[in-house]
Amino acid sequence: MLSAVQSQMGAGEISFEEVTSIFETGGTKGLSGDSVEKIPKIKITRMNNEDESGERVSCSVCLQDFQLGETVRSLPHCHHMFHLPCIDKWLVRHGSCPLCRRDM
C-alpha cells in the first residue's frame, strides 16, 4: 500500500507522520505523560493479588505475575491492573485499556 501512495506522490514529498497516518485505524490517540501520571497507582497485597478463581493476577501486556509489594497502575474505569512501564508506554501511544480497549 505504501508503494501505491509513493507512486502517486514523490517519495521525497512524504513525511514520517504522513506514512504512519496511512496505517491509522481511527482509534483513540495516546495520552500525555502528565495524564498518564495522574492515573492511580496501587501496591499489590495479598488482598488484590488473586482473581475470583484464586489465580494470581498478572499484567496482560508482559504476561508476568504481579509480586507482593509491587506498585502497579489500576485504570480508573475498568480497574484492570498493569506494570507501570508496560501500561505507561501503551497509554502514551494508544489512550485506551490494552485489555478491554475502553478509552481513558
What would the 3-class secondary structure string for 17-67 be?
HHHHHHCCCCCCCCCCHHHHHCCCEEECCCCCCECCCCCECECCCCCCECC
Distance CA 55, CA 69 (A): 17
Is a pLDDT exceeding 90 seen at residue 12?
no
Q: Strand, helix or coil at 96? A: strand
Q: Which helix (H) or strand (E) holds 103?
A: none
The residues, any chain, with a CB within 8 Å of residue 76's CB and separated by 6 or more, are: 39, 40, 104
What digits encode the pLDDT tens for the residues 49-101?
A: 888 888 899 999 999 999 999 999 999 999 999 999 999 999 999 999 999 99
Is a pLDDT exceeding 60 seen at residue 3?
no
Best CATH choice for the domain 31-104 from the list 3.90.1300.10, 3.30.40.10, 3.30.1450.10, 3.30.2130.10? 3.30.40.10
Annotated domain spans of the chain: 1-26, 31-104
What digits encode the pLDDT tens for the residues 22-49?
A: 555 555 589 998 999 999 999 999 999 8
Please state the pTM of the whole predicted model: 0.68
Measure the CA angle with vertex 84, ends 79 and 90; round to 5°: 80
pLDDT at residue 29 in the model: 84
pLDDT at residue 33 in the model: 87
Backbone conformation region of residue 82, classed left if phi is above 0, alpha if psi is from -120 to 50, else beta: beta
